[in-house]
Amino acid sequence: MNITIVGTGYVGLVTGTCFAETGVNVVCVDVNKKKIEDLKQGISPIYEPGLDELIIKNLRSGRLKFSTNLAECIDDSEVIFSAVGTPPDEDGSADLQYVLDVARTIGRNMKKYVCIVTKSTVPVGTARKVREAVEDELSKRGEKIEFDVCSNPEFLKEGNAVRDFLFPDRVVIGVENSRAEEVMSKLYRPFTLNNHSVIFMDVPSAEMTKYAANAMLAVRISFMNEIANLCDKVGADVSNVRKGIGSDNRIGNKFLYSGIGYGGSCFPKDVKALYHTGLDYGCPMKIVRAAEDVNDEQKLIIYHKLKAKLGSLEGKTICLWGLSFKPETDDMREAPSLYIISALAKEKGCKIRAYDPIAMSETKRRLPDMNVQYCNDLYEATEGADAILLLTEWKEFRLPDWDRIKTAIKGNLILDGRNIYEAKLLREMGFEYEGIGTR
């Protein structure tokens, strides 16, 4: 089976590479010539565990190819996935410019039936706009060529995307008719053979499913962060509360961990887009808006704790452990660390020392004017520090040599933004420890 993936960002590259791994012939297309030339050499533009090896393996097998010319790929493709970016517009709504550009290019160049699939996260009604864009281009050509438009939203977790794609909880596919369902069933047959759930539904429901899933998870995170903040006030421990409510099988124990807020490419963007979709249809999404407001405040909760503990930060040195929005990725989009660094940089005379295993280069790119000393390892970052702020729970931060750290730091304050440390142990060692909603 021959398919084309348009867009070699996070979603497109993982999708194309993993389909090639199942035996499909894949061409990944992008307008960025440098990126495509690098990919032809097996050089990935993103950090994702296991992805580099699969790219090289499938390049060598000939099942995975890269191109900058979508028009040349259309005739040979049974399915074309649109996985281009849908950045938030100024008002937070999803910008469909690139999605519709892909649709128009297909309409201008297609000569036979093709199944067009939106893989990007898009608002309800996008498939209809894609169909209209293709039909408009066909009309200009005086052609009547049949095609279908499907929705196949992704549910990939950064840091675990390859496994999520190859061993999915579920595959959601929105189709218009039995013909499209037959095409998509053929493509996903390797997954149904392994008893992975493939759920077919109408297209608007598939588009809504993606937004609803991410909004639900965002709401859970913000809810637990509010509970944690209240625990701080009343003397309760959110870790115990989490166990107590998570043992209720109506609630479950996933996404009940408090911390310093969510970030990344999906939750912030999708929550905003869903809220604006609600406004467009006269249905204000009040809970969704509240989740976003709580998250915006939570990103600076550890900064406010630091100020409460140390008062003026003039002359103080602050150590930051972790910069990416979550472990196992270099993604810095909407990472809480960006907001914390910006706040610390405004404090007169405050020095910032930081370490992240992967994301320091990306942080420098995003904050080129910030006076941050990037360190070679977690221990170097603690030298002369008045406080250590744990921002990202990378594995190497979980069991550090606290005796070594005690001799390196100037102060004794540990602020744990992810609640991974044992408070009793650190306090017995002479550290002043505080988590988010823990005792």
- The C-alpha atoms of residue 207 and residue 90 are separated, in whole angstroms, by 22
Give the list of residues 6+ apart from residue 179 with CB closer than 8 angstroms, or none.
148
| Burial label, 347 (beta-carbon count in 10 A; 0-12, 13-18, 19+) | middle
Chain centroid to CA 389: how far? 23
Q: Which residues contact 352 (CB under 8 A, 6 or more apart)?
A: 317, 318, 320, 341, 344, 345, 370, 371, 372, 373
Under 8 Å between Cβ of 173 and 152:
yes
Q: Give the integer Cα–Cα distance in Å for 353 and 357.
A: 14
Helices 267-280 and 203-234: crossing angle in degrees, nearest 10, is 120
Catalytic residue among 18, 28, 115, 266: 266
- Is 362 in contact with 296 (CB distance < 8 Å)? no
Asked if 344 and 304 touch (Cβ cutoff 8 Å), the reply is no
Report helix, strand or coil for 210.
Answer: helix
For residue 397, what is the DSSP state? Answer: G
H-state helical runs in 25-96: 33-40, 51-61, 70-73
Q: Note the helical H segments in 247-394.
A: 267-280, 286-298, 301-310, 336-345, 360-366, 378-382
231 noted as active-site residue: no
Q: Name every residue whose Cβ is closer than 8 Å to that of residue 114 and which is 6 or more positions away in sequence.
A: 74, 77, 78, 79, 80, 106, 147
User: What amino acid positions are annotated as catalytic residues?
Assistant: 266
